[in-house]
Amino acid sequence: MKFFITDDDMCTTQKLNLARVQKWIEVNGGVVTDIPKEADRILCQTCNGWSLLEKASYKRIKDYSKHYADKMIVMGCVNDAHPKNVSKLFSGPTVRTRTDKPYSFAEIEKLFPDFDTTLEEVPAQSVFRRKEDYRDYNLSKRFINIAEGCSFSCSFCTHKPGLGPRRSRTVEDIIQQIKTCVEENVEIVNLMGMETSLYGIDVGSNYPDLLRKVLEYDESYQIHVAQFQPMGIYRYYDDLLELFKNKRVTDIQAPIQSTSGRIMKMMRRRELSKYVGPFMTEVRKHNPRAILRTDVIIGWPTETPEERLHSLDFAGKHFDEIALYSIELHPDLPAWEYKKDAFSDEELETIRKESVRYMNENYNVVVHSGQQDDNTMKQAEEKRKQLREMKLVVSA
């Protein structure tokens, strides 16, 4: 059986889960082709992460269903978050991202009952399907999903409706994947997920316990900490600080979003900057190799210039790289209640550009707007490389 998998603009977590699906297809004797008309089944990928990605997903469904509706399967988070929108465009089989297991797309097994090997029997993948999926293609760096979903319910989040609640992998399962990385001479292990700080609570573990065992397993690789909510800093402060001081931990991402208690309450998050600031100061003091990264949401409805400036200054003081995102409100999410007080699209664009300019003029940091503005990502790439080189020199 031949499969064609459409282009995807999914998050890193789901790119790895899709790589697992491809491996499952191949283990069961299937072949992935680059030519859709040759395929027996078309796997059409979707994403709900940003409005532009959601719109691109609907366009992809429309385009492929014109010619291949009879052999198409629509996969991904739009099925979970906006099933009615999908059903208006496509009446065939769908596969949701969300499952009750620590991996995604489990529903696809029901569509192929003759497959002997189950998806659960296929190991988690640390390499994307295609070289084109990498912003920086480098197989000496591997991505390891330690958990699916999220423990929190932020009022603005488009990801949670697609990915669902947190489901952690066991420490043993993760270490087994790292064992493979060591055998393949991997230099950087990125511990990632939609949200990682509350990893393990559902399987009798926690993030410090996992990180300690990952550090102890072998000394041949660096560790990157991704999508670590400040709640983890608050909850595990002392244990975590000692682990983050280890110079093999060379990248730490902790999205603060805002330093305004008023705004964070509207976001349904706790404002923890009084813990994050001292924590990052200590990490920087003892582990100068580590690049400290954060995300800041700007242009929240009713946000004052003073609140925005306070968040920007805090980020500039304590972090090396800042991703600035203007808020997107969706009618299906709780934050939609603030729509009447929201800035216009034109105002948000101005706020974002002025904030990027402010950070570049006042702080020696890498600043970008992620998928909301690919140009700022491109501009940040060279500065990011210089930053890493400088960190290595300083810590030598």
| 103-157 pLDDT, tens digit each | 899 999 999 999 999 999 999 999 998 887 777 778 889 999 999 999 999 999 9
Give the confidence band of 10 by pLDDT, cuts at 50, 70, 90: confident
Identify the DSSP state of 105.
-
170-196: pLDDT as tens digits? 999 999 999 999 999 999 999 999 999
Say whether 266 sits in a helix, a strand or coil. Answer: helix
Domains of the chain: 2-121 (3.40.50.12160), 135-395 (3.80.30.20)
- Give the span between the Cα atoms of 28 and 306, in whole angstroms: 58
Residue 322 has pLDDT above 90, yes or no: yes
Q: Please answer whether residues 78 and 162 qualify as being in contact, where contact means their C-beta atoms are separated by less than 8 angstroms.
A: yes
Residues contacting 136, CB < 8 A, separation 6+: 381
21-55: pLDDT as tens digits? 999 999 999 999 999 999 999 999 999 887 888 99
- List the one residue out of 72, 74, 75 whose CA is nearest residue 39: 72
The alpha carbon torsion through 91, 54, 196, 307 (nearest 10 deg) reads: -150
Residue 202 has pLDDT above 90, yes or no: yes
User: What is the reported pTM?
Assistant: 0.91
- List the one residue out of 257, 232, 166, 149 whose CA is nearest residue 203: 166
Residues contacting 361, CB < 8 A, separation 6+: none
Give the confidence band of 297 by pLDDT, cuts at 50, 70, 90: very high
Count of CB atoms situated within 10 Å of the CB of 38 = 10
pLDDT over 90 percentage in the chain: 82
